Amino acid sequence: MLKKLLLITSITTSIFALTMQEYAQQQQQGYTQYKKTQEEGFKAYKAEQMKAFNDYKKSVGEIWEEPKMSTKKTWVAYTPDKKTRTNVNFDKEVIVVETVASSPREAKQKLQIALAKVVTVDTKTVQKTDPLEKILAKIKKPEGVVDAKVKAEPILATVIFKKPPTRESVKTYVNKHITPKEIKVTPSKKVKFAKIYRVEVKMPNNAMLKRSKLYYTEVKKQAKRQNIPLPLVFAIMHSESSFNPRAKSHIPAYGLMQIVPRSAGLDTYRYLYKKKKLVTGSYLYDSTNNITMGSGYLHILYYSYLKLIKNPESRMYCTIAAYNTGAGNIAFAFNRYKNLSRKQKFRMKNAAADINALTPQQVYDRLMKDLKWDEPKHYLKKVAKRMSIYHKVYGS
């Protein structure tokens, strides 16, 4: 009787174990399929966005010989009829206002309205009213993608005005810069019987510092949370976007710290919130989300991907370069002359021993010499220099 009981138990256990194994396999297959579906959905979503972007740019090209669009360091905005545009260059600290008009009187009025708007509008209003953003917002987002509304923050008001702008102060500012003497006129090659009227306005000399102050509270909070230097976050932000909250690169990367949703964004969201989620561009146009994600990614680079580098200063140099070019290219810089297999070459542990044998200055010099491309070399140099500047302004 006991033998029969044991036999039945054994058979039952085997069947149960098999069932659990099958269940686990089904769960894994389900997750894999979900992941694949999510990736395909996001890919299709991005393709629709790119088509909408290209269609919009093409329509702009029907009016403008050069259909300028926003970049990392510039924010370009058009009126609904596309005949007036503002181009804010945060790096060169210049505002350019242009309009296609049939008379000087019409042009002056349109230029005045455009300049008044660009120096007073906030981030929330831009997201809601920008013609291109309104088109992109209508595209159905795939399941599982995280979106968010952009909160209202000044873009140029704190740079241009010493106090919150009033109707009178804005009028005074506009009348100062929109004058017959300042307006440059050229023929329009796209619109018959019209000319292009253009005004260029310089921002105040301390514009960059004023822009940085707007984000001080959030940068301080996230730098402390992620245990990274506050000057590093500011230097990265300065180098990535020149504090342009509407920054967008061709990759595309979004916002102040130029987060790419499908790479750094994916890894960082999982680190921060324990979920593998993709985020939208509008999520990253919100400064709090962007600084949170950018600081989180710096934490991942410094404390995870590059953790085998012992000297903090050496690891910091590698972290800065990796933010621009990826941790794999840091390993390449120290392994490029070695006879290593492709699989081994890009493992950080193969480079860490060499890095740990060098002084921080030697590590910096080696990166400047052997990084794969010139862009991360220039990036490392700029960020390292700017860290010392922001350390003097804001401390550690």
Q: Which domain CATH number covers 88? A: 3.10.28
36-45, 164-173, 357-366, 376-385: which has the minimum mean pLDDT? Answer: 36-45
Region 164-186 average pLDDT: 97
Residue type, 256: L
Looking at the domain assignment, is residue 102 inside a domain?
A: yes
277 in the same domain as 250: yes
Query: Is 101 within 8 Å of 194 (Cβ atoms)?
Result: yes
184 in the same domain as 223: no
Per-residue confidence (pLDDT) for residue 350, from 0 to 100: 82
Region 72-85 average pLDDT: 98
Q: Under the phi-then-psi rule, with left for phi > 0, alpha for psi from -120 to 50, and beta for the rest, what region is 295?
A: alpha
Residue where one domain finishes, among candidates 204, 222, 243? 204
Please provide the DSSP assignment of 146-161 as one string: E--PPPP-BSSHHHH-
Whether the predicted pLDDT of 344 surpasses 50: no
Q: Which of 372, 257, 272 is nearest to 321 (CA)?
A: 372
Looking at the domain assignment, is residue 267 inside a domain?
A: yes
Pairwise pLDDT comparison (347 vs 242), residue with the higher score = 242
Looking at the domain assignment, is residue 57 inside a domain?
A: no
259: CB partners within 8 A, 6+ apart: 253, 265, 268, 279, 284, 290, 293, 294, 297
| C-alpha to C-alpha distance for 386 and 382, rounded to whole angstroms | 6
| C-alpha to C-alpha distance for 393 and 262, rounded to whole angstroms | 34
Total number of domains constituting the chain: 2
Average pLDDT, the chain: 91
Query: What end-to-end distance do the CA atoms of the chain give, in Å?
Result: 77
Looking at the domain assignment, is residue 370 inside a domain?
A: yes
365 in the same domain as 275: yes
387 in the same domain as 335: yes
State the residue range of the domain holding 79.
74-120+156-204
**Beta-ladder partners of 84:** 99
Per-residue confidence (pLDDT) for residue 3, from 0 to 100: 56
What's the per-residue H, E or C state across 99-136?
A: EEECCHHHHHHHHHHHHHHHCCCEHHHHHHHCHHHHHH
Q: Which of 313, 324, 322 is nearest to 363 (CA)?
A: 313
Residue type, 283: Y
Looking at the domain assignment, is residue 127 inside a domain?
A: no
Residue type, 99: T
The reported pTM is: 0.88
Query: Is 146 within 8 Å of 159 (Cβ atoms)?
Result: no
301 in the same domain as 162: no
Per-residue confidence (pLDDT) for residue 379, from 0 to 100: 98
Per-residue confidence (pLDDT) for residue 24, from 0 to 100: 54
Tokens describing residue 12: 């039952």
228 in the same domain as 104: no
277 in the same domain as 229: yes
Residues in the chain: 396
Per-residue confidence (pLDDT) for residue 15, from 0 to 100: 45
182 in the same domain as 214: no
221 in the same domain as 340: yes
CATH (domain of 304): 1.10.530.10
Per-residue confidence (pLDDT) for residue 345, from 0 to 100: 42
Region 353-377 average pLDDT: 96
215 in the same domain as 104: no
Looking at the domain assignment, is residue 56 inside a domain?
A: no
Q: What's the gap between Cα 371 and its chain centre?
A: 23
251 in the same domain as 109: no
Residue where one domain finishes, among candidates 204, 236, 266? 204
71-85, 312-326, 339-353: which has the minimum mean pLDDT? Answer: 339-353
257 in the same domain as 162: no
pLDDT tens for 218-235 read 999 999 999 999 999 999
Region 321-333 average pLDDT: 94
